[in-house]
């Protein structure tokens, strides 16, 4: 029984299932390390990357099929209808490419697109459970609710997602441009609250993607090295 339990625990970490059906073609970047010449030898800052770093080092890659940038963790956030008590949900903030990389099952509406993301519009994709909790139904495309006291419009509704979906899990997803999270950075904007997932055309492309990422990192280090960073 214990052996079977260990095997099952390992399998759920790697076995593909929606919305992470393409796990065998995923590469992930969750954390980074940066230092500055002024900090002295051996001193560094470690953690998630800022949007600037994510865009320059990973979003710019040409070899992958797609690259999505999203917040490094879900954040418990209140949602409610005006005049109603709030409940906490797990919020994940993403770009529009997120919906190409991960295969969610939409039961109503659709994901937000690039134009909506670029404009930073307050729209959201919510799960069936959240839709029923707020509105009593899943047919809620276009309806509004309050997310941390700010009005958001429902763009789409998806089937509930297991917490075992390490990267895609959430209960509500919004563009990170709608909250200003892309400006939540430090260390000269190099570090922040972002992770990224790279979707390869094929696992055979992994070596080429890693090589291209190394070239992008080297170019980025050369650029920021003018200000003492590396």
Whether the predicted pLDDT of 78 surpasses 90:
yes
Name residues whose C-beta falls within 8 Å of residue 212's C-beta, 6 or more positions apart in sequence. 61, 62, 63
Looking at the chain, the whole-number percentage of residues with pLDDT higher than 70 is: 94
Per-residue pLDDT, 4: 63
Please classify residue 71 by burial: count the beta carbons closer than 10 Å to its beta carbon, then call 0-12 exposed, 13-18 middle and 19+ buried.
buried
User: Taking all residues of the chain, what is their mean pLDDT, rounded to a whole number?
Assistant: 94
Q: What gap in Å lies between CA 175 and CA 124, rounded to an integer?
A: 8
Whether the predicted pLDDT of 6 surpasses 80:
no
Handedness of CA 104, 206, 74, 181 (dihedral sign): negative
Name residues whose C-beta falls within 8 Å of residue 224's C-beta, 6 or more positions apart in sequence. 188, 190, 230
Give the DSSP letter string of 131-143: HHHHHSSS--TT-
- Measured CA angle at 158 (ends 49, 70), to 5 deg: 5
Per-residue model confidence as pLDDT tens digits over 101-148: 999 999 999 999 999 999 999 999 999 999 999 999 999 999 999 999
Which tokens is 196 given? 């990224």
Q: What gap in Å lies between CA 160 and CA 92, rounded to an integer?
A: 14
Per-residue model confidence as pLDDT tens digits over 135-191: 999 999 999 999 999 999 999 999 999 999 999 999 999 999 999 999 999 999 999
The residue to which tokens 């809620």 are assigned: 140
What single-letter DSSP state applies at residue 58? Answer: I
């Amino acid at each position: 029984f214990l052996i079977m339990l260990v095997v099952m625990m390992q399998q759920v970490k790697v076995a593909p299932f929606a919305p992470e059906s393409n796990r065998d073609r995923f590469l992930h970047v969750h954390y980074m390390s940066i230092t500055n010449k002024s900090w002295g030898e051996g001193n560094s800052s470690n953690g998630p990357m800022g949007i600037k770093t994510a865009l320059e080092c990973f979003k710019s890659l040409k070899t992958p099929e797609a690259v999505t940038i999203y917040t490094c963790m879900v954040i418990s956030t209140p949602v409610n209808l005006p005049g109603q008590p709030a409940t906490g949900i797990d919020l994940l903030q993403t770009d529009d490419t997120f919906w190409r990389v991960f295969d969610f099952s939409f039961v109503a509406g659709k994901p937000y697109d690039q134009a909506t993301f670029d404009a930073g519009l307050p729209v959201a994709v919510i799960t069936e459970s959240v839709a029923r909790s707020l509105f009593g139904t899943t047919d809620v495309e276009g309806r509004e609710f309050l997310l941390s006291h700010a009005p958001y419009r429902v763009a789409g509704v998806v089937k509930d997602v297991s917490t075992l979906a390490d990267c895609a899990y959430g209960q509500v997803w919004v563009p990170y441009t709608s909250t200003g999270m892309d400006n939540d950075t430090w260390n000269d904007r190099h570090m922040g609250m972002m992770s990224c997932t790279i979707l390869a055309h094929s696992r055979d492309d992994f070596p080429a993607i890693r090589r291209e990422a190394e070239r992008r990192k080297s170019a980025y280090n050369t650029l920021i090295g003018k200000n003492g960073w590396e």
